[in-house]
Structure 1
Amino acid sequence: MAEQQAAGGRAAQLERSGLRPGWTTGACATAATTAAYTALLTGAFPDPVAVTLPGGRQPYFALAAEELTPGQAMAGVVKDAGDDPDVTHGALVRATVRLGPPGSGVVFRAGPGVGTVTKPGLPLPVGEPAVNPVPRQLIRDAVAAVAARHGGGGDVTVVLSVDHGEEIARSTWNPRLGILGGLSILGTTGVVVPYSCSAWIDSIRRGIDVARAAGHAHVAGCTGATSEKVAVAEYGLPEDALLDMGDFAGAVLKYLRRHPVPRLTIAGGFAKLSKLAAGHLDLHSGRSQVDKGFLAELARAGGGDEALVGAVARANTALEAVRLCAAAGVPLGDLVARTARQQALGVLRGSPVAVDVICIDRAGSVVGRAAPAGPR
């Protein structure tokens, strides 16, 4: 009931936003499986094909590919991500369904373009195709419904594939998470909410899970490639201890609050981390802004005179404020890092995670840092 209410709330938000929702790879795979299994039992592909999603929504999907041969059927659906800038938008998701031995149930296999799990910590065992738990259940339910309608046994092998999926996956977290060979079949509601960045946030969580399963005691949440290089240079962290945090500092901190790792480094550009210091957990330029007045007050607290405080408040950029303060002997970078660290600890709410912060400029030079008391 709660999930249905949440889905209804999301639908209402989308109507107000004017943005068009899309469908997850999991919803597309379910539609393709439904069509393929129906054709295997009846000789005809339903087109369009309906899918019932969590929350009761029932969209229809047009088939972009179909093939029926003795013993198996294949159907394909093009993913429509709506108005979300999803890298998998336009990908052709295929399901090939073959009859299995009685009692085998639904067996999943990874075809071309769908990855295989190679590291522990994900919600699937090592060696399994990267078809997440909710899409698996949606597909099982769809197979059962088709079997009930058309007299099938419901025992099938479902081979999921995505055209060019291995190439697309290079733009995702999958290689770092140990999902090799292609994309994951994802989705918890079946609906892609535009600009919710749910896939990115889910990848942050899975990255923490993988790091914990690997036994890493230290992870780094980095806002971009440059800060990631700095974290590696500073601490020698392995790739699966690096979290592509982007703008989602809050996602990292809230998940670590529930699933702690002994040490977290937050590394990022000075301007973005000044937003964290000011209390923003979403660092995107469209959702939070650098507060020059806040930086000016930090400069004052660091011993800056009124002339410097005024200059910082009028600075064109956050990095100009850093340079002004450095020339006056006021460590604004350290002050921002220290305040960002305190904000992070506040979000962690006593979870046993030691936090240090590194602020960098555009060239990757460290302009501020804050660490727990004691040796680094």
Structure 2
Amino acid sequence: MTTTNDTTPKYPVPPRNRQGQRTGFTTGSNASAAAKAATIALLTGEWPDQVTISLPIGETATMTPVECELTDESAYCCMVKDAGDDPDVTHGALICARVSRSSQPGLQLDGGQGVGRVTLPGLGLEVGGPAINPVPRRQIRDNVTEAVSEFAPGGEAFLATQGLDVVISVPEGEALAQKTLNARLGIIGGISILGTTGKVFPYSTAAWRASVIQAVEVAAKNSTAKVVMATGGRSERFAMQIFPELPDVAFVELSIFTGDALKTCVAHGVESAVFVGMIGKMVKTAQGHMTTHVAGNQVDFEFLAQVCRDCQAPAELVEAVAGGNTGRHFLELCQEFEFMEPVQRVVDLALQSCRDFVRSQDGEMELETILVDFDGTVLARAKGDKPPRLAGRYQPAETLIERLSADPAHSYDDEAVMGQRRNEALGRQGRVGDRTWDEEMARRQEKEAKKRGE
């Protein structure tokens, strides 16, 4: 961002409160506001002090344009992205639009500097086109059309004989994109213009979850031999060492969303999937948890003690494991006693949990689970039988973007719905250990950001 000195942003935004719940506005809403303000200026010759836009969820938002430029043929302005209290990488960024007169009737929309271009199929967006998702596209068009109806000669009929070209840009977009998963999804050169509701809800996991689903969709669409799902950044690097023959697009950092990744594999006909993780999440998966961090989904040491008993472990090991405190501690105890059968059993049970979940989704695929240590050493692995290929069993599934485009306000993927359900379920009093849920989410998201070098 342009600055007046080394430390003060040119356009300051309210600081993020890590425990706060202040909502913000999506890149799609900011792009819509910039495009509407620029349209008004182009049609009237004057810049509005503020502009009010419609949001996809039926609400409105008012924003202030900056960096305004106006000629007879075009108008350009930006909005300063305010993500509220969410740790959004685009918080404070300029989201801009240039609206130009065109000889071609109608409204044309494209992406410019800092808006990514789609290079791989599987996202539900045109390959070669700008990474502007369908709901923001519609939001931008609707708000520009509102401005045309109010300010153009003849109202909306203006677009039947004259045209407007709208180009969305993000001056810092290419640098910001390095802090996202866009490159892995085949979106090159900038960020995506996103948002299904128009609002950003603090610490919603929807965007995080959506990136996992989309990564699986892209892997499936690009005909990879198998999808390798890793629980974190280090696990993914180790997985790439285990399967060097696979392209980068085959690897998905699923974080906590094991179930969503497997469900997407089923929906898109993936025939082989591998789960690679370290001991903590491997244990939780063995316990049957398909989302591996929510309150209550903790490592169960009585479960691990029973695993040890089933493996005929020494009584001293069983007792020590029953009094353990982390999944890592369980592993270290087994290593100390030189009795690794329970560790292999955990990996076997994780495979069974994944297989049971896939079958609960009416799916069949070859599955493998691999436990890696902190240095990348493979400690144990388990692999299921490859089911017979059932030609035509799976019909092409809609992508996440296509589902959200058709039903942004009701879909289970929508960030507002997810956030509301979380808060209702926890009554704002949910705790993880000695932390509130929001404190825990802040800690985890910052930890994930550090892994990616954000």
TM-score when normalising by structure 2: 0.74
Aligned to 1:106: 107
Which structure 1 segments of 5+ residues have no match? 1-16
Q: Deviations over 1:302-338 (max 9, x none)?
A: 2224321111122343223123224342422222222
CA distance in 1, matches of 2:49, 2:191: 25
Equivalent of residue 253 in structure 2, options 196, 220, 244: 244
Give the letter aligned to residue 313 of structure 1: A
Give the letter aligned to residue 118 of structure 1: T
Which structure 2 segments of 5+ residues have no match? 1-18, 388-454
Aligned to 1:352: 364
Is residue 265–residue 357 contact of structure 1 (8 Å, CA) maintained in 2? yes
Aligned to 2:15: none
Equivalent of residue 233 in structure 1, options 236, 241, 257: 241
Give the deviation of 1:294 after TM superposition.
Answer: 2.0
Q: State the SS of the aligned residue for 2:328.
A: helix
Q: State the SS of the aligned residue for 1:51.
A: strand
Q: Deviations over 1:283-315 (max 9, x none)?
A: 237674222222222222222243211111223
Equivalent of residue 39 in structure 1, options 41, 63, 71: 41
Of 86-95 and 196-205, more deviation after overlay is shown by 196-205
Equivalent of residue 305 in structure 2, options 292, 296, 315: 296
Give the letter aligned to residue 22 of structure 2: R
Give the letter aligned to residue 239 of structure 2: A
Is residue 37–residue 143 contact of structure 1 (8 Å, CA) maintained in 2? yes
Is residue 335–residue 368 contact of structure 1 (8 Å, CA) maintained in 2? no
Please show how residues 117-266 of structure 1 align to structure 2 within 5 Å.
117-151=118-152, 153-154=158-159, 155-236=163-244, 237-266=246-275
Of 60-69 and 128-137, more deviation after overlay is shown by 60-69
Aligned to 1:67: 69
Give the deviation of 1:254 after TM superposition.
Answer: 2.5
CA distance in 2, matches of 1:190, 1:353: 37
Is residue 119–residue 179 contact of structure 1 (8 Å, CA) maintained in 2? yes
Is residue 366–residue 385 contact of structure 2 (8 Å, CA) maintained in 1? no
Aligned CA distance change for structure 1 residues 292 and 187 (closer, same or farther; 3 Å) = same
Is residue 332–residue 368 contact of structure 1 (8 Å, CA) maintained in 2? no
Q: State the SS of the aligned residue for 2:54.
A: coil
Give the deviation of 1:90 after TM superposition.
Answer: 1.3
The CA RMSD measured in Å over matched residues stands at 2.0
Q: State the SS of the aligned residue for 1:183.
A: coil
CA distance in 2, matches of 1:130, 1:42: 30
CA distance in 1, matches of 2:384, 2:183: 32
Aligned to 2:58: 56
Is residue 109–residue 129 contact of structure 1 (8 Å, CA) maintained in 2? yes
CA distance in 1, matches of 2:299, 2:108: 51
Q: Does residue 331 of structure 1 match 2:333?
A: no
Give the deviation of 1:180 after TM superposition.
Answer: 0.8
Give the letter aligned to residue 291 of structure 1: D
Q: State the SS of the aligned residue for 1:294.
A: helix
CA distance in 1, matches of 2:355, 2:164: 50
Instruction: Tell me how many residue pairs correspond in the alignment.
Output: 358
Structure of greater relative contact order (alpha carbons < 8 Å, 6+ residues apart): 2
Of 217-226 and 321-330, more deviation after overlay is shown by 321-330
CA distance in 2, matches of 1:285, 1:361: 23
TM-score when normalising by structure 1: 0.89
CA distance in 2, matches of 1:32, 1:266: 43
Of 262-271 and 347-356, more deviation after overlay is shown by 347-356
Is residue 227–residue 360 contact of structure 1 (8 Å, CA) maintained in 2? yes
